[in-house]
Amino acid sequence: MIPIRDEIPTRRVPIVNYLLIALNILVYLFQSMLGPNEQALIYEFALIPFSVTTSISLGDITDIFTSMFMHAGLAHIGGNMLYLWIFGDNVEDRMGRGRYLFFYLIGGIVASLTHILTNPGSQIPTVGASGAIAAVLGAYLVLYPQSRVLTLVPLGFFIRMTMLPASIVLGLWFVLQFFSGVTSLGGPDVGGVAFWAHIGGFVAGVVLANVLARREVPERVTYW
C-alpha cells in the first residue's frame, strides 16, 4: 500500500516539517553531486554499529545525527519524504514546532540505538530518515487513529485508489516491519532495510506522542 494524502488539514504552517524535508533533499542532492566520492562521504558520516559497540567516540555519536539526513538512493529518499510529507505536518500541528523537532530527533536516536542493539557486529553503513519518520508514524497513529488516508492498493495486475483508516495503513506497516525484523534476527550481515530501527522509532513515537502532544481543543462553534 502506498499512501497519497490524509484528510486532516493543519491549523498552522508546518514550518519544521518543511525544513526537515528540504534539508534531507539538499543533503541527497549534495551526495549525488559527489559522484565516485559519495561512498567516502557515506562511510565518514553514516552510522556503523560495529564502530559504536567496539570503541565509541564523539564521531560515532554525531554520526547518529548525520546519518538521519543521508539516503542511499532516489527511491529511498522519495519514499521517506512522501511519508514525512503526509503525516509529519499533523504531528507538528499537535506538538508545536519546538516539541516536534525535539520529538523527531529523539525518535531518530532511539531508532539508531535499536538498530545498534540488534545488529552490534554490523560493519555496514546505515543511512536514512526512516527511523525518525517511523516515530512520526507511531505518533500519528496515536493522535489520529480515525483519520482516513487516500491509499494506492495493488490488487494483482490492477491498482485501486481508496480511503483507508490510518489505523489500518500504519498498523499494517508496523506489522510488516515487525515480522520482517523478527525473521532477520540472526541472519547474515548483508545490506538491506534496518527493520529494527523502524520498530524502535515507531514505538518511541507511540510513547512520546502521549507525552509531548498537546490536548486537542475543539474549535469554537458559533450558534445563530
Structural domains in the chain?
A: 2-212 (1.20.1540.10)
In sequence order, what DSSP letters do the residues of 121-189 get, joined into one string?
T--S-B--SHHHHHHHHHHHHHH-TT-EEEEEEEETTEEEEEEEEHHHHHHHHHHHHHHHHHHHTT---
Q: What pLDDT is attached to residue 95? A: 95
Contact between 18 and 8 under an 8 Å Cβ cutoff? The reply is no
Q: What pLDDT is attached to residue 58? A: 79
Which residue matches cell numbers 559522484? 35
Each residue of 53-110: pLDDT tens digit?
888 777 788 999 999 999 989 999 999 999 999 999 999 999 999 999 999 999 999 9
pLDDT above 60 for 224:
no
pLDDT above 90 for 168:
yes
pLDDT bin (cut points 50, 70, 90) of residue 16 is very high
Contact between 130 and 111 under an 8 Å Cβ cutoff? The reply is yes
Each residue of 128-158: pLDDT tens digit?
999 999 999 999 999 999 899 999 888 777 7
Average pLDDT, the chain: 88
Average pLDDT over residues 39-49: 91
Q: What pLDDT is attached to residue 54? A: 87
Q: What pLDDT is attached to residue 159? A: 82
Q: What pLDDT is attached to residue 186? A: 60
219/72: higher pLDDT: 72
Average pLDDT over residues 6-25: 94
pLDDT above 70 for 217:
no
Q: Please give the biggest Cα pair distance in the chain.
A: 69
216/126: higher pLDDT: 126
Contact between 140 and 92 under an 8 Å Cβ cutoff? The reply is no
Q: What pLDDT is attached to residue 117? A: 92
How many angstroms separate the Cα of 185 from the Cα of each of 24, 60, 124, 192, 194?
29, 24, 16, 13, 11
